[in-house]
Structure 1
Amino acid sequence: MAQLDLRRPARKLGRKGWWLLGALLVLAAAIWWLLPRSAPAPTRLTQKVALGRLEKTVTAQGSLAPRDYVDVGAQVSGQISKVYVAVGQQVRKGQLLVQIDPEAYQTKVDSDHAAVDDLIAQREKQTVSLALARQQLVRQQGLRQLDATSQEALESAQAEHDTAQAGLQSLAAQIAKARATLQGDQLSLKYTRIFAPIDGTVVSQTYLQGQTINSSQTAPTILRVARLDPMTVEAQVAEADIPQLKPGMRAWFTTLGDSQTRHQATVRQIKPTPVTTNDVVLYTVLLDVANPGQSLMINMTAQVFFLIDSVAGVPVVPLAALKPLALDGRHYRAQVLVNGQLQNRDVEVRLATRSQAAIASGLKPGEELVLSSQSSGKRSNSNSGMPPPPPGG
């Protein structure tokens, strides 16, 4: 019986054997590549539907200003001799604020009094002269009737009487003029004392004590007195948003220093004349806001939100999770997970903003809304691609 000689070395593969081995490896790789494989389970991002509140707003930038204020000016020229108040001080209507040096105006008033008194004295003297001229005229008229005097003497007496009477009338007019001058100078003297026109707060001061003001051309403003409750927000609104606004509508705003506090306001007026800034047409909208604690101050920056519409107690979801079905902005399609299975839902939107939607029907609280869905694998089964190259060469 023949025996295998284990000491004999194995036969080496020839060139043909190596090519055969390579072909087998390529065939095995191709079969592995073409074998059907199940697609990886998709990864879905979901969110539970919850009830909430949604507001649709128009935003604008604005600043705060007092609603009621008065610029307290000077009606006479002169040096400010005394300022009785300071910026920030509360004042009452009729309170003395500023004293302008009254000396020059007091001198005019005294001179006017003297002029009036002098004219009154002249009027009394002229009254006596008129009485004497009247007596002379009556005497001459009697003598003329008796033919005891000449016609020339009668005419002379008549002329003296008329002259005295005209002089008396002239003095009466001069007295009236002097009294008018006196009244005007007394008014100017009164204007040297400047009083608060309203209850409020001194919010600015232009002239200081010792400065000289000139009111000959314009009335210079010395102080501004303002009521700080209520305040006004002057918001600059783009022309595209103006048709949505109207007087009386609600709004709210936050300030630059306190973005967490909402201040409720009401639209009072939309000014008809726009301003143009960097080729953008803006309209000024005035809003009134209560300020009982005076925490709101002049020129504070305000981020204003005009409330166009709002809804509460309805499902609120991300708008990006909905697919529009029509151009009416109300009908959409959503996907929800029910027992692990995708389900399409037609939903109706009650109110939508740029990022969220309030649902009128089609979704219920607690349901799993699919926000996005994508495969976790990089490749699914496909016969279109070339197999990878075999190992080796």
Structure 2
Amino acid sequence: MASGSPKRGVKWFAVLLVVAAAGFAAWWFTGDARKAPEPLNTVEVTRGDIQLLVSATGVLEPSNYVDVGAQVSGQLETIHVRVGQNVKEGDLLAEIDPTVYTAKVDATRAQLKNQQAQIADRKAQLRLAEIQFQRQQNLYREEATTRESLQTAEATLASAKAQLAMLEAQIEQTSSTLRAEEANLGYARIYAPMDGTVVSIEARQGQTLNASQTAPVLMRIANLATMRVRAQVSEADIGKLEPGMRVYFTTLGDPDSRLYGELDYIEPTPEVTNNVVLYNALFEAENPQGKLLPNMTAQVFFIQKEALNVLRVPASAVQGNTVQVLDAAGNPQAQTVTTGISNRVQTEILSGLEEGQEVVLVSRDPRSGAGGNPSFRGMLR
């Protein structure tokens, strides 16, 4: 019995040693005091541009266009252009059957010729009446004719003058009618009123046009060299805009290309859609390559403020007027800075930092409390 006691003591000591080692290991690997800190999330201070933007959605439309209509009625005989075709001012676009208008012009011209022939006869009769009246005056002075004959000659002369004046008035009226008929005949041929592109054709060959009340629209010609962007801006942002401010936009087909312009004006009357109040802000953009087309959707950005080629850091790195920078040993240190504009993504640094310095990004994880990188707070404790 006595000889067995030391062996049991050694065994118990070994067991206790193992339990203690296990407990120490558990404490070492799971205890907060020995927990390895998480790596800091840092980023370099860079130099670049910062823009404070007001965004909106817009639609493209031609800056200048004309709806080409028909001024006379009739059957649309020929359309000489197609959609997308470029035209010059004066190019023939379409023709209406001119048969009726040609007949009217011919009839009026014939009437005018008849009246012109009559006026030659009236002038001859007037000349004869003047001669007879002069003869009667001479005879009356010599008492070789009666006063009644003189009065008759005088009345004949006055009648000849009146008939000539009446016929001259009829000729003026007929000439005016002829000009109108010739104009209507000319309107049967429709010409381009401006340089541009045919963006739509509303009529079809063979269609009968009725221009007695309103001019039927045949097609639209637009100047696509300069486009207008009509952007709809919410009432919450419209007060941030003013004419002359810079603006750029992208299209769905080319989202990487920015096209710039200047805000021209804001329409004062809003559009209300589903209880949302939107104001139209308009500006123009050059379209030398013709890639911008009517009714394209544009993502518009009005530049409220901008800072070019400035020091900047992510907005999440700035807390008040301080940032956390890494020292030579890699430990975070609070650094006071002066900030400029911020667009919620990046913040301009006016002083306090240099390009290339490492700053700590502050986490917004709700599990970390009021804010701040959990690993960073662990290192500060």
Q: Say whether the fold is shared (TM-score over 0.5).
A: yes
Task: State the match for 2:282 in structure 1.
Answer: 286
Further displaced range: 239-248 or 256-265: 239-248
Query: Is the 8 Å Cα contact of residues 316 and 359 (structure 1) preserved in structure 2?
Result: yes
How far 1:5 moved relative to its partner? 12
Q: Post-superposition shift, 1:286?
A: 2.3
Residue 65 of structure 1 contacts residue 298 of structure 1 at CA under 8 Å; is this kept in 2?
yes
Tell me whether 1:189 sits opposite 2:146 in the alignment.
no
Q: Is the 8 A contact 1:84 1:98 kept in 2?
A: yes
After TM superposition, the structure 1 = structure 2 runs for residues 88-237 of structure 1, keeping only pairs within 5 Å, are: 88-237=84-233
**TM-score, length of structure 1 as denominator length:** 0.79
Asked if the contact 1:40/1:375 (under 8 Å) is kept, the reply is no
Cα offset, 1:160, TM superposition:
1.3
Cα distance, 1:98 vs structure 2: 0.3
CA distance in 1, matches of 2:233, 2:272: 11
Q: For each residue in 1:275-307, what CA deviation from the matched residue of structure 2 results, as whole angstroms up to 9, or x when unmatched?
A: 333333333222222222212211110001122
Q: 1:375 & 1:222 partners in 2: Cα distance?
A: 70
- 2:322 and 2:249 map into 1 onto residues whose CA distance is 35
Counterpart pick for 1:359 among 341, 345, 349: 349
Map residues 280-359 of structure 1 onto 2, 5 A cutoff. Answer: 280-324=276-320, 332-338=321-327, 339-359=329-349
**How far off is 1:79 after superposition?**
0.8
Output the CA distance in 1 between the equivalents of 2:127 and 2:307.
95
**Range moving further from structure 2, 304-313 or 267-276:** 267-276
In 1, distance between residues paired with 2:185 and 2:140? 58
| Pair 311,374 (structure 1): closer, same or farther in 2 beyond 3 Å | closer
In structure 2, the residue matched to 1:20 is: none
Asked whether the 8 Å contact 1:235–1:285 carries over to 2, the reply is: yes
In the alignment, the residues of structure 2 paired with residue 346 and residue 374 of structure 1 have an alpha-carbon distance, to the nearest angstrom, of: 18
Read off the aligned partner of 1:366 and give its amino acid letter: G
Per the alignment, residue 10 of structure 1 pairs with none
Aligned positions of 1:53-92 closer than 5 A: 53-92=49-88
Deviates more, 1:301-310 or 1:174-183: 301-310
Which letter does structure 1 place at the counterpart of 2:71?
Q
Q: Report if aligned partners of 2:361, 2:373 keep a CA contact under 8 Å in 1.
A: no
- Report the Cα distance in structure 2 between the residues aligned to 1:375 and 1:58, rounded to whole angstroms: 34
CA distance in 1, matches of 2:3, 2:243: 112
Instruction: Provide the aligned length of Structure 1 versus Structure 2.
Output: 340
Match of 2:366 in 1: none
- When the two structures are superposed, what TM-score results if normalisation uses the length of structure 2? 0.82
Aligned-residue offset at 1:86:
0.8
Contact 1:346-1:362 at 8 Å conserved across structures: yes
Letter of the aligned partner of 1:305 in structure 2?
F
The whole-number CA distance in structure 1 between the counterparts of 2:62 and 2:345 is 36
Q: Distance in 2 between matches of 1:94 and 1:358?
A: 56
Shift of 1:241: 2.9
Q: Which moved more, 1:111-120 or 1:146-155?
A: 146-155
Q: Which moved more, 1:361-370 or 1:200-209?
A: 361-370
User: Separation in 2 of the partners of 1:109 and 1:363?
Assistant: 87
1:369 corresponds in structure 2 to: 359
Which 5+ residue runs of structure 1 have no aligned equivalent?
A: 7-31, 325-331, 380-393
User: Which stretch shifts more, 70-79 or 274-283?
Assistant: 274-283
1:349–1:82 Cα change, 3 Å: same
Alignment partner of 1:47: what SS? Answer: strand
What CA deviation, in whole Å up to 9, does each residue of 1:189-211 have, x standing for no partner? 11111111222221100101110
Give the distance between the partners of 2:62 and 2:32, measured in 1 at CA. Answer: 74
Relative distance call for 1:50 and 1:90 in structure 2 (3 A) is same
| Alpha-carbon offset, residue 4 of structure 1 | 7.4
More helix by share: 2
When Rg is computed on C-alpha atoms for both structures, the one with the higher figure is: 1
> Which runs of structure 2 are paired with 1:255-274 in the superposition (5 Å)?
255-274=251-270
> Structure 1 CA distance, aligned partners of 2:74 and 2:227?
34
- Of 126-135 and 272-281, more deviation after overlay is shown by 272-281
Q: Which amino acid aligns with 1:134?
A: E
